[in-house]
C-alpha cells in the first residue's frame, strides 16, 4: 500500500499503470478492466493480484469461467518469470478460487436471478473472509450479464449489490469485462462503466497484419489520472506499459 496527497492507494505493481494513476488505485475502489478478446485483461488482473501478493498484501483471484488449475497453468505459461506463484499460494498470500461458480449461478431454486447471484456474492465473501484478502480480482463479470440478460433492471441492481458488498468487505477489486469491440472508435458505454469507481480499457489498433495494443484509464474516482493512451506489451516478466514519464 502507498499514500500520496493524503490518499491511501493500492499499487498494481505495474510501473506504467501506477504512473498513470498518480501512484496507484485509491484503496477500496472497485475497478473494471474492460477489453475485447485477446487484449490480455485476464492476464492483467492476474498480474495485479500476483504483484500485490509479492508486496505482502493478502490477495485473491476468483475465476467465474475457468478452473483455477487451468488458469494458473495459463498464467505460468504467459509469465515464465513468475517463478514464485506456487510459493505465494503456499504461504497464503495469494489464493486462486472459483471452480464452482458456474454451477452456483445455474441454480434454479426460487428466483433464478436473485438466488443464484446471492450464491456468488456469498462465495466471494467466504473467500475474502477466510483468506483476509485486501485485494481481489473477479474474472469475469460478463457471466453475470449473460445469466441476468433477461432483465436489464435486475442486472443493474445486481451489479450495484455486488459493488455494495465489495465495499462492505473493505477490499480493492479488479473485475474483468468482455467488450464486443477492440477499437477505441467503436466503444459503447455499458452500465458497468458508470457504476464502478474506475475503468481501465484495453484496445487493439492497426490492421489484421500488424496489431498493437494500447490502454487508457477512462475514469478513477478519488484521484487524478493520465488522459493519454499507453501502448503495452505482454512479456515473460509481465506487462510493460509505456507512459510519457
The CA radius of gyration of the chain, in Å to the nearest whole number, is 17
Could you tell me the pTM of the whole model? 0.90
Residues 6+ apart with CB under 8 A from 206: 212
**Which set of grid coordinates corresponds to residue 23?**
501512484
Query: What is the per-residue pLDDT across 31-79, written as a single tens digit (0 to 9) for each?
Result: 999 998 889 999 999 999 999 999 999 999 999 888 899 999 999 999 9
H/E element, 197: none
Query: What is the per-residue pLDDT across 128-164, written as a single tens digit (0 to 9) for each?
Result: 999 999 999 999 888 777 766 666 788 888 899 999 9
- Domains observed in the chain: 2-241 (3.40.50.300)
What is the separation, in whole angstroms, between the first and last Cα of the chain? Answer: 21
∠ CA 59-33-14, rounded to 5°: 60
Amino acid at each position: 500500500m502507498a499514500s500520496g496527497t493524503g490518499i491511501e492507494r493500492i499499487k498494481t505493481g505495474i510501473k506504467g499503470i501506477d504512473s498513470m494513476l498518480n501512484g496507484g488505485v485509491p484503496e477500496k475502489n472497485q475497478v473494471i478492466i474492460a477489453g475485447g478478446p485477446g487484449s490480455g485483461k485476464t492476464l492483467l488482473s492476474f498480474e495485479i493480484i500476483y504483484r500485490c501478493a509479492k508486496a505482502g498484501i493478502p490477495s485473491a483471484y476468483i475465476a467465474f469461467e475457468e478452473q483455477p488449475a487451468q488458469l494458473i497453468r495459463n498464467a505460468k505459461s504467459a509469465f515464465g518469470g513468475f517463478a514464485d506463484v506456487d510459493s505465494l499460494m503456499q504461504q497464503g498470500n495469494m489464493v486462486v478460487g472459483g471452480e464452482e461458480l458456474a454451477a452456483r449461478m445455474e441454480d434454479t431454486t426460487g428466483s433464478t436471478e436473485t438466488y443464484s447471484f446471492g450464491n456468488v456474492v456469498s462465495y466471494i465473501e467466504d473467500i475474502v473472509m477466510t483468506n483476509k484478502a485486501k485485494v481481489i480480482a473477479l474474472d469475469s463479470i460478463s457471466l453475470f450479464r449473460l445469466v441476468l440478460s433477461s432483465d436489464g433492471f435486475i442486472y443493474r441492481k445486481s451489479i450495484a449489490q455486488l459493488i455494495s458488498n465489495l465495499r462492505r468487505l473493505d477490499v480493492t477489486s479488479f473485475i474483468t469485462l468482455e467488450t464486443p469491440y477492440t477499437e477505441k472508435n467503436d466503444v459503447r458505454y455499458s452500465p458497468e462503466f458508470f457504476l464502478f469507481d474506475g475503468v481501465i480499457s484495453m484496445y487493439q489498433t492497426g490492421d489484421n497484419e500488424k496489431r498493437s495494443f494500447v490502454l487508457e484509464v477512462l475514469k478513477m474516482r478519488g484521484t487524478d489520472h493520465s488522459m493519454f493512451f499507453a501502448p503495452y506489451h505482454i512479456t515473460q516478466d509481465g506487462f510493460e506499459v509505456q507512459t510519457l514519464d
